Amino acid sequence: MDGILPLWKERGMTSHDCVFKLRKILQTKKVGHGGTLDPDVDGVLPICIGKGTKVIEYLQDSGKIYEGEITLGFSTTTEDRSGEIVETKAVDHPLSEAEIDRVMATFIGKIKQVPPMYSAVKVNGKRLYEYARAGETVERPEREAEIESFQRTTDPIYNEEAKTQSWRFQVTCGKGTYVRTLAVDLGTKLNYPAHMSDLTRLASGGFSVGQAVTLAQVSELMEKGQINQALQPVEEAMKEFPRIDLTAADWQKVKNGQVLPMKSFGIKKMPANLIAFFYQGQLVSLYGQHPEKNWLLKPSKVIRNEIAQDPHA
């Protein structure tokens, strides 16, 4: 079994929990996920199966879309609602929509973020959440993130009793963006402690809500022998990459991992992404620029050495 399964991860489970359960349901060990989702977050989690595991890194690097809620008035250890409160400041007067929208707009483009202490980023060979759980602090490396859009989607709600203000938002962002930190940094610019009070991932790796299936649905499809209804071909993960369809002669060279001249394919300048080589409609290899000879293409990742009649087979 090869392909990508767009899973709807429910709340309360880690991404690894999903992989563990799917190995049993799908009766295969070669299963991995294409981008971690926190236990408190639900949404689209691309699951790579068989040859699909060869494209995990490219799914993880892809853009994502989230919807969620930001709350001003207090911040937490985890930057979301699951953590302990670390700072409070009463929102005595609700902020205007215009002020919120103006500050949200300042996050569009390339921004710098400091990863949360409760995250999987490694510092000195140890994950940040391990330091956090041990009650230790460590200097966290600043990272760059790219925000394509960041918009308020509901009217702000002011809680007179709690002295907080909340609103829902949608964000389209690049790889490595911490949406929790986005909420906290927005609060800082608005002069209030803040946290991300709700989050759902709507799209990841080019897969969206409409394609996603729950673990229960996967189980049912397997029992009925209809899992291919939910399984997406490996090729779907590469749809944003430049594509070249090979001739039979080229396929023999690619199959054997040969270095190839760019001019053979009419390429004058190497694109930003790797080039996806297809043969008979199936993804067979990913090629990149040779590290020493910039007019040559070198295999970066071999996906298939043989062509199956059924790409799902």
Q: What is the model's pTM?
A: 0.88
pLDDT at 229 over 80: yes
Residue 310 pLDDT level (bands cut at 50, 70, 90): very low
pLDDT given at position 309:
57
As annotated, the active-site residues are: 38
**β-pair partners for 207:** 204
Burial class, 220, CB count within 10 angstroms (exposed 0-12 / middle 13-18 / buried 19+): middle
In this prediction, residues 49-72 reach a mean pLDDT of 91
- What element of type H or E holds 72? strand 64-72
12-16, 83-87, 162-166 — which one is most confidently predicted on average? 162-166
Of residues 306 and 250, more confidence is placed in 250
pLDDT at 270 over 80: no
Rounded (5°) CA angle 293-295-298 = 70
CA 183 to CA 68: how far, in whole Å?
10
Cβ contact 227:21 at 8 Å: no
Q: What number of other Cβ atoms are within 10 A of residue 122's Cβ?
A: 11
Rounded (5°) CA angle 163-188-119 = 105
Cβ contact 196:68 at 8 Å: yes
- Residue 90: phi and psi, rounded to 5, are -60, 135
